[in-house]
């Protein structure tokens, strides 16, 4: 990948070594142009993914408040056919969800073959907010890294392509964004005192993210760190990761589509043949 930072499985993540301000040496206009080109490719790929029905795509987005998960979903999914997409947001678990294992609510909503599923937050909250706020004992959340890896292995073994993006903003950038929201009365509905409260635990969140990214970046479901202080760069980096991850599967989809085309044509030919034979008999 050119724009995102790939977490090589088995390596230790140190977020402070990764610049959230990265621009890849591009101007905003250049970045937007490249993004548009990736987006067009993604559009074509989604059509093949949908029609072939061989794989599902699951995009997992994580990040601190204001990191831009909503904006990324709006921009990166912008060109896709809504029929083939579904966004799932994970909030504070309900009483029923808490009465099950932590993956229960997640497994129920993973995308079926042919579909693109986007997770706005995910099962990673169960090793992030849950850890920072000690919502379960340490041995419980500690066991979850392996449980998450096993769950994601099951999904990838059964046809789901997983792309995990951590939107990396700086603490200063978060403050700017939170303050900007307060200035814009039309966006006051976005305000939350909770965002300021969570911000006080920034370092604890960073430690939790570092461990999650380190322990759960695998060959089959790697983590990508997306420099996200610049929104245009964030969108560019995510769209590149998606396009480059999906590209190797295109041959499979093409083969499935060719086989479908052959079968449909043969069916039609047999139908026409039958019709002609019927007409001759008359
Ligand atoms: P968002 O910030 O994603 O736009 P909300 O303001 O409704 O949406 O925030 C959702 C909240 O739910 C977040 O604070 C998040 O940490 C919390 N949450 C999500 N999953 C869990 C979980 N498994 N346990 C506890 N809290 C969770």
Mean pLDDT of the chain: 96
pLDDT interval class at 191 (50, 70, 90): confident
Q: What's the 153 CA to ligand 1 centre distance in angstroms?
A: 25
Q: What is the mean pLDDT of residues 6-25?
A: 98
- Residue 10 confidence (pLDDT) above 90: yes
What residue ranges in the chain does DSSP mark as E strands? 5-6, 56-63, 85-89, 116-120, 160-168, 223-227
pLDDT tens, position by position, 148-185: 999 999 999 999 999 999 999 999 999 999 999 889 88
Q: Which residues contact 150 (CB under 8 A, 6 or more apart)?
A: none
Range list of H helices, 87-221:
95-98, 104-107, 129-132, 138-157, 171-183, 193-199, 202-215
pLDDT at residue 189, as a whole number: 86
Domain boundaries, the chain: 5-281
Report residue 254 CA to chain centroid gap: 24
Q: Which residue in 107, 138, 116, 150 sits closest to 48, CA to CA? A: 116
pLDDT more than 70, % of the chain: 100
Cα-based angle 251, 111, 117 (whole degrees, multiple of 5): 85
Return the CATH superfamily for domain 5-281: P-loop containing nucleotide triphosphate hydrolases (3.40.50.300)
Q: Are 42 and 235 in contact (CB under 8 A)?
A: no
Query: Ligand 1 pocket by C-beta < 6 Å: which residues?
Result: 65, 89-93, 120-121, 125-126, 129-130, 192
Q: What is the mean pLDDT of residues 214-240?
A: 98
| Residue ID of nearest Cα to ligand 1 atom 7 | 91
Best probe residue, ligand 1, of 60, 66, 104, 129 (max atoms within 8 Å of C-beta): 129
pTM of the model: 0.96
- Residue 282 confidence (pLDDT) above 80: no
Q: Are 3 and 24 in contact (CB under 8 A)?
A: yes
Q: What's the 91 CA to ligand 1 centre distance in angstroms?
A: 4
Best probe residue, ligand 1, of 96, 125, 133 (max atoms within 8 Å of C-beta): 125
pLDDT at residue 190, as a whole number: 83
| Residue ID of nearest Cα to ligand 1 atom 10 | 91
pLDDT tens, position by position, 43-95: 999 999 999 999 999 999 999 999 999 999 999 998 899 999 999 999 999 99
């Amino acid at each position: 990948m050119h724009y995102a930072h790939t977490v090589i499985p088995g390596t230790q993540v140190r977020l402070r070594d990764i610049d959230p301000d990265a621009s890849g040496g591009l101007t905003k206009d250049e970045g937007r142009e490249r993004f548009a080109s990736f987006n067009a490719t993604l559009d074509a790929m989604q059509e093949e993914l949908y029609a072939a029905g061989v794989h599902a795509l699951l995009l997992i987005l994580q990040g601190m408040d204001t990191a831009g998960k909503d904006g990324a979903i709006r921009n990166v999914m912008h060109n896709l056919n809504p029929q083939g997409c579904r966004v799932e947001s994970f909030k504070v678990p309900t009483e029923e969800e808490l009465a099950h294992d932590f993956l229960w609510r997640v497994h129920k909503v993973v995308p079926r073959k042919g579909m693109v599923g986007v997770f706005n937050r995910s099962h990673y909250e169960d090793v992030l907010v849950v850890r920072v706020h000690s919502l379960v004992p340490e041995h419980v959340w500690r066991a979850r890294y392996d449980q998450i890896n096993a769950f994601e292995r099951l999904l990838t073994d059964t046809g789901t392509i997983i792309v995990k993006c951590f939107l990396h903003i700086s603490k200063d950038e978060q403050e700017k964004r939170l303050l900007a929201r307060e200035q814009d009365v039309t966006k006051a509905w976005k305000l939350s005192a909770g965002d300021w409260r969570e911000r006080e635990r920034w370092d604890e969140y960073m430690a939790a993210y570092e461990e999650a990214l380190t322990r759960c970046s695998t060959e089959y479901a790697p983590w990508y760190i997306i420099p996200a202080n610049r929104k245009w760069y964030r969108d560019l980096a995510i769209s590149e990761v998606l396009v480059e991850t999906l590209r190797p599967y295109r041959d499979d989809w093409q083969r499935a589509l060719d086989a479908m085309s052959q079968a449909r044509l043969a069916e039609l030919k047999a139908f026409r043949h039958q019709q002609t034979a019927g007409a001759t008999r008359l």
